[in-house]
Amino acid sequence: MATAGADLYDVRGNAGDGIHAASAGGIWQAVVFGFCGLRLDQDGWTLQPRLPSAWKRVSFRFFYRGQQQVVDLPAA
pLDDT tens digits for 9-51?
667 777 677 777 788 888 899 999 999 999 999 999 999 999 9
Confidence of residue 8 (pLDDT cuts 50, 70, 90): low
pLDDT at 7: 59
Which of residues 2 and 37 earns the better pLDDT score?
A: 37
What residue numbers bound the domain in which 63 lies? 2-74
pTM for this structure? Answer: 0.77
Q: Per-residue b/e over 14-29, b at no fewer than 16 CB within 10 Å?
A: eeeeeebeeeeeebee
pLDDT at 75: 82
pLDDT at 31: 95
Q: Which of 60, 55, 24 is nearest to 45 (CA)?
A: 60
Q: How many domains does the chain have?
A: 1
Say how far apart CA 49 and CA 31 lie, in whole Å: 10
